[in-house]
Each structure stands twice: as C-alpha cells, then as structure tokens.
Structure 1
Amino acid sequence: MTVRRGRFEDLPWLVEHDDAGEGWIARCIQHGEYFVAERDGECVGFLRFSRFWGKIPYMDMIRVLPSHQCAGVGTTLFRAWESAMIEEGAQHLMTSSEWAEAEPQAWHRRNGFQAAGSIDFRIVQPSPEIFFLKDISGARKG
C-alpha cells in the first residue's frame, strides 16, 4: 500500500467517496489537503484535512472502503498525515467525532489523541461533537 497527496486525477473517485461537494474537493486537492491510500494501483481510502483557526491541522474526514477496513489503511493514512504535519512544523493535531460514536473515539485515543471538549450541534446532528487534540511538538525531526 502507498499513501500520497491527492491529485486532480483523483477527483472523480473522491467525489464518489467523500461527502463534500466537488468544488470543495477540488479546492482541497489544490491546497494539498488530501492524502490518498492506494493498493495495487486502486484508491482504497483518503484523509482530508483543513486548518483550524488557519493553523492547527484538523482531520476533517478519514474514510476507507469497506472492503479494506480493519487492514491498517486508516492508520497508515493517519501516520502519513501526522508525519507531513510534523515536517511542516505543526505543534498539535486536531480532530473530532460525534459524542455517540464510541468506535471512532477509541481509534482517536489509540492514535494518541486526548479529548479536549465538546460542542452541541444538535440542530445538524444527533449528538454533541467531541474534539480531540494530539501534541506533536516533541516529535520534530532534525
């Protein structure tokens, strides 16, 4: 399996598998905000991120095709993103999940994130959103 930054050639696949609109996906590709996992030349997952307050890398979405789940694809995508953010000099990583989503929260914790608070968005989703932070300030290379 290989992980690389998203490219415009990935746009049709990402539009099919990401919940974001095509314009937003294209914008994220242009800004280098996708990581794509490939196995045998086929896309099997992606990680999309942005920057909270314009500076803290925030993992917006990580998705792996059902046929490739529980095979390390998500963790490999996450590690590639984390390494890239360390190289860029980021101090922290941020992500979130719904309060009622125990499995994603467990995944975040296994990957070094700690709960940092929550916000009630029940006008758009059934349970509050819990935010997670990971301190990567001590992971600088060189």
Structure 2
Amino acid sequence: MNLDVIAANGGETLWVVADRIRFLGGLPGSNLELLDIEVPAGSGTPPHTHASSEMFYILEGELTVHNFSADGAPQVVLAGPRTAVRIPPMAPHNYSNDSGKPVRMLVLIEKSMIAFFRDIGTVEPQAEPDFAGIGAAMQRHGIEPITMAA
C-alpha cells in the first residue's frame, strides 16, 4: 500500500466566501477529514449549529470563537497559535477574525461538512457572497443559523 502525500501547495482548494479552504483528506475507515483554512482579517461565520463536531487548531494568528449558551450569552475564546478548540455536535457557535491579521488553522471535521464546503465553494474568491445560495446549501446540509436576540 502506498502513502498518500499532499505537497505543501497541493490538494484541492476552494474559497468559501472569503476563507480559503485546502482539502487534505481523511483517514481510511474514518468519518473525519482535515482542512487547512486561511481566514483573512474581518472574515468569519454567522452563528450556527450542525451535527458534526469540529476541532480547530490555530497555526498562525488569533481567531475569536464564540459558543452561545441557552440564554444567548456567548463564551468568547481568543485562540492563538498552538491552541486547539473542540466544538461538540449541535453547539451554537461561530468564529471571526477580529485580529487585523490573517489566521491559518487546521480543522478536523466530519465528511458531512466537507460536502457543504464543496457545495458552496468556488475556485476564485467571491466579490459578493451568494447569501441565498449559502442559505439553501445550509438547509440541504443540516446547518441551522442561529438568530441572536438584540
């Protein structure tokens, strides 16, 4: 059996809104895959939930991760280099890059979420996100947006 090697600049790359995602693959017999994600300053995700657990491992920069409790109060984590953040299934959460500098992280995630990223990803960065298309894809892939009370 041969090793499967993805070179430093290899692997499929897609843009999900402003984030650059490089697909690194998974382990045979596992439901998990590894992503290399670059999050530019000002980028992030809206609050949401999904059945897949996730693990973020920050390589460069500082990522702000929010976990929202039942009363809507967020737990805020500033995750810098060599910090790992585990998000359990169905935990209301989001992330943002508020640092003013790029963030690079490895993300371990279930194949169901990989399908979502492939569904909405584009080969080139998007000038304007297709929010209607992203919302439809979220429904198809079981990702629920969370509306935060004002």
Return the TM-score normalized by structure 2. Answer: 0.29
Return the TM-score normalized by structure 1. Answer: 0.30
* More relative contact order, 1 or 2 (CA 8 Å, 6+ apart): 2
